[in-house]
Amino acid sequence: MASQVFDWIRNSAALRGDRTVYSGMGDSISFGDLERFSASVATWVAKHSDIERPVAVMTGRNVFTPACYMGVARAGCFYAPMDAEMPHARLVQIMGVTEPSLMIADMEHLEIAKALAGDCEIAIMEEVINGPIDEDLVAAREASVTESSPLYMIFTSGSTGVPKGVLTSHRSLIGYLDGLNEVIHLDENDIIGNQAPLDYIAAIRDMYLPLMTGARTVMISKTEFAMPDALFRTLNENKITILCWSAAGLEIPAKLGGFEEGKPEYIRTIVFSGSVISNKYLRIWQENLPDVTFINQYGPTEATASCTYYVIKDVVNDDTVLPIGRAYKHYQILLLAHDEDNDTWSAVPDGEMGEICVKGPCLAIGYYRSKEQTDKVFMQNPLNKDYPELIYLTGDLGHIGEDGELYFHGRKDRQIKHMGHRVELAEIEAYALTIEGITECASLYDKKREHIYLFYAGEPAPKEITISFRADMPAFMVPRKIVQLDDMPHLPNGKIAMRELADRIPK
């Protein structure tokens, strides 16, 4: 198994340099191109940055973006993907946490990057990937990287109102992909259909599995997911065999009647994650593709994408409750109960509910520049009194069924999974309180309808609040239902009566 991802880059270029590694949107690059482009990027970054520093990358959804990411890694730094479609205020927050001295941006997003950069030096992607290569400098920088060095930083919602940067190492990513591929068995004959944005955690599979296995990734235009006939045509024209998609991405073609006109002909395995999939839409896929293996994954960004999997054995019905399965290789799952009065932890017996906790070498390093938040959820294994051993507290609840499989039961706190993203309801409340005229508020989630609610007391009309949210927050954090109240209900202790608010949500 490789120690750093650039071991894969060099080996792939030597073994299959002329073969395509990424294609889509009218472009393609080979394994050899990827090695050369990433070396050019690494040369530029190494000349402008110390090692183990963050480099912001705003280069959009194209075949050259992975070369930028991997070039940053080869320079001994770590990359922080930036989604240019996010509101400016959100990007400012992310830049504030990251404080990069360097940014790589493509021409399409250059003006957005300039508006964010401040003192940050910007390189234009189209120029830097074709720049000079200093092989000795790149080799020296690569030699400075260990398997525990940071590789990338992905941002998630933060309860304090500031997004959290999850920092992940080379070792964690390599371990996850090794465990995943032991289950899905990719090789150089496979073609991956990429659905996830390249700044999103799910895209790491699509970018790095080809380097590990010799497979190829096709980047599918996001517009095609609203046009199932075009989507299925792309899958068939490219003879795509593997889909690692979000549950939401899998549901859309089924919702829109995609199978009424045709179906994908070459797929052998579909892996999905991100949220609980609708049995109705999963069944449509299963019935139309009876020979395809479907795999349900579970896991947070802090565990490098996914830590458990379940290979679905039968066609689901309306009452089926899918397990999230068993741990991948390199992971171990603990179910723990916390006695808050005595601040003690204990393992829960099979069949009983506990908090899902993860241990193993694939855990993230922690949250960037946030020791307090890191220490809250990356803690010493309370069952191990003999030597240091970190576990990650997911905040999710689960139990082991009679079949020995792990089942998911939602959150124990106020974090939700919405539109494939983890969202802290407290962050929605924190932002709402910055809107002039709002005196109190509370956010709840209607899981059945997948609606975020915001209840508030204050002067602004709901429409004004929606406009503010859309201007400053990602689309997945904009409340769908905004309810103005004369006064917020309170408990005797002065806290907002959340249960009373929950009763106002239609059943």
* pLDDT tens sequence across 161-209: 788 999 999 999 999 999 999 999 999 999 999 999 999 899 999 999 9
Residues of the chain with pLDDT > 70: what percent?
A: 99
Q: How many CA atoms lie within 13 A of 397 on its CB side?
A: 14
- The rounded distance, in Å, linking the Cα atoms of 223 and 319 is 33
Taking alpha carbons only, the member of 331, 332, 59, 314 closest to residue 323 is 314
* pLDDT tens sequence across 224-267: 988 999 999 999 999 999 999 988 889 889 989 999 989 999 99
pLDDT band at 388 (very low <50, low <70, confident <90, very high): very high
Exposed e or buried b for every residue in 154-185, given b needs 16+ CB within 10 A?
bbbbbbebbbbbbbbbbbbbbbbbbbbbebbe
Domains and CATH numbers, the chain: 1-169 (3.40.50.12780), 329-411 (2.30.38.10), 424-502 (3.30.300.30)
* pLDDT tens sequence across 257-298: 999 989 999 999 999 998 888 899 999 999 999 999 999 999
pLDDT band at 492 (very low <50, low <70, confident <90, very high): low
Count other C-beta atoms under 10 Å from residue 351's C-beta.
9
* pLDDT tens sequence across 469-486: 999 999 999 999 999 999
Residue-level pLDDT at 375: 96
- The rounded distance, in Å, linking the Cα atoms of 432 and 438 is 7
Residue 444's DSSP bridge partners are 453
* pLDDT tens sequence across 294-323: 999 999 999 999 999 999 999 999 889 899
Query: What is the 3-state secondary structure of 333-369?
Result: EEEEEEECCCCEEEECCCCCCEEEEEECCCCCCEECC
Average pLDDT of every residue of the chain: 94
CB 409 within 8 A of CB 465: no
* pLDDT tens sequence across 110-168: 999 999 998 899 999 999 999 999 999 999 999 999 999 999 999 988 767 788 999 99
